Amino acid sequence: MFDFDMLGLAPALNDALKRAGFTEPTPIQNQAIPLAMAGHDVMGLAQTGTGKTLAFGLPLIDHLMAQPGKPAPKTAKALILAPTRELTNQIAESLRALTEGTRIRVATVVGGQSINRQITTLGRGTDILVATPGRLIDLMDRGAVDLGAVRHLVLDEADQMLDLGFIHALRKIAPRLGTPRQTMLFSATMSKQMEELSRAYLTDPRKVQVSPPGKAADKISQSVHFVDKPQKPARLREILSRDLDALTLVFARTKHGAEKLMKGLVADGHNAASIHGNKSQGQRDRAIKAFRDGTVTTLVATDVAARGIDIPGVAYVVNYDLPEVPDNYVHRIGRTARAGREGEAIALCTPEEADLLHQIEKLMKVEIPVASGTKPALTGAPGRGAGQPRRRGAKPGAQSRGEKPAGPKRRRPRRRRAA
């Protein structure tokens, strides 16, 4: 199949796709949409930036358009769960563009926004509810939403939901959903936990995988600069100065580090903003909007934004700090080269981060080209290979200091009381 017209979607959806400039489905869309249209549960594995939102969104909207009647107050017909506020808003925005002019309503509930306003919205009922698990449970506990009418469940970026501990929230939400239902699970990576999740919530799923886990988009040009830690700020400014008008996303490891870096860039005359966990939802939304509009050209972010920014114009992704989880590197650089465009991913690596880089290259099965500097030797802790997981119960850094890993505390024997 080479165009959306051949997928059997409703004419109104095909018209919406043409208005939005979509003419040819991506590989994940080409494979997943027919299966979902046929009513199968779907497990989709694809790298970030490959069009997963339309892969589940189009068949979902098509099914809902074929169903008569409006949603009852406080109910939803379909539920999409996503791990972050940014991703939730991004999904809803994409779906609203496709449902414009139809009777299908899309609502969002996320933390950091007025819960009373969300209660009012849910009171009218909605066809598609896009939510973060935590806020949804808050609304369930208040009796503001009844999920018994949900017949379609989508778990987007399910691997990140597991990483963030949302499995406990999912266990509370799932029993409240209607049955029978269609469930679609989409993820960038596959782990043993993901297999267990699919067995628990999907029925005879059809598996679709369009690229190996850990593989970056083909149109991303990658490079790494080896620098000492004090050299990082100057090297970043050098990179930014090459193309001051280009949209550049810079990733820092911590909230404090991201804010400090952003303020330093602004002081040097760069048009920069930041988003991280210490920012309110309003501040984060305004920063992303300014970045999307081009009024801000450098956005400094923590991993809270790694899967929640879908801005086709991002030309560069700079890993100022390498992530401690190798998968996150793939998600970060996937913010560029979106929608068929080309992009560049640049990493700054200190000797202390050599092990992190090794794990990233091992995951991706590639050696990232060196742009400058000399690749340092690995600094794996004694007693285990570089980058290997710590023994259970060990304190971070304990092995490298020659300390014994923390083990279970011994209980002192109780003294017997005299009779």
Q: Which two tokens stand for residue 303?
A: 């991993």
Q: Look at residue 109 in the predicted model and tell me its pLDDT.
A: 97
Q: Look at residue 258 in the predicted model and tell me its pLDDT.
A: 95
Q: Look at residue 398 in the predicted model and tell me its pLDDT.
A: 35
pTM recorded for the entire structure: 0.69
Q: Look at residue 214 in the predicted model and tell me its pLDDT.
A: 56
Q: Look at residue 99 in the predicted model and tell me its pLDDT.
A: 95
pLDDT in tens, the chain (419 residues): 458 888 889 999 999 999 888 888 988 999 999 999 999 999 998 876 678 899 999 999 999 999 988 999 999 999 999 988 888 998 999 999 999 989 999 999 999 889 999 999 999 999 999 999 999 999 999 999 999 999 999 999 888 887 767 888 999 999 999 999 999 999 877 777 788 888 999 999 999 988 655 556 667 899 999 999 999 999 999 999 999 999 999 999 999 999 999 999 999 999 999 998 888 878 888 999 999 999 999 999 998 765 667 787 899 999 999 999 888 898 889 888 776 678 999 999 999 999 999 999 998 889 999 999 999 888 664 333 333 444 334 433 333 333 333 344 444 444 444 43
Q: Look at residue 394 in the predicted model and tell me its pLDDT.
A: 40
Q: Look at residue 392 in the predicted model and tell me its pLDDT.
A: 38
Question: Structural domains in the chain?
Answer: 4-209 (3.40.50.300), 220-372 (3.40.50.300)
CB atoms within 10 A of CB 291: 26
Residue 76, beta-bridge partner list = 126
Q: How far is CA 87 from CA 127, 151, 218, 285, 373, in A?
A: 19, 22, 23, 11, 36
- Give the CA count within 13 Å in the CB-facing half-sphere of 244: 7
The four Cα atoms 140, 143, 145, 149 give a dihedral, to 10 degrees, of: 100
What are the backbone angles phi and psi of residue 109, rounded to the nearest 5°?
-135, 120
CA end-to-end distance (rounded Å), the chain: 85
Q: Look at residue 395 in the predicted model and tell me its pLDDT.
A: 38
CA dist., res. 268 & res. 392, Å (int)? 45
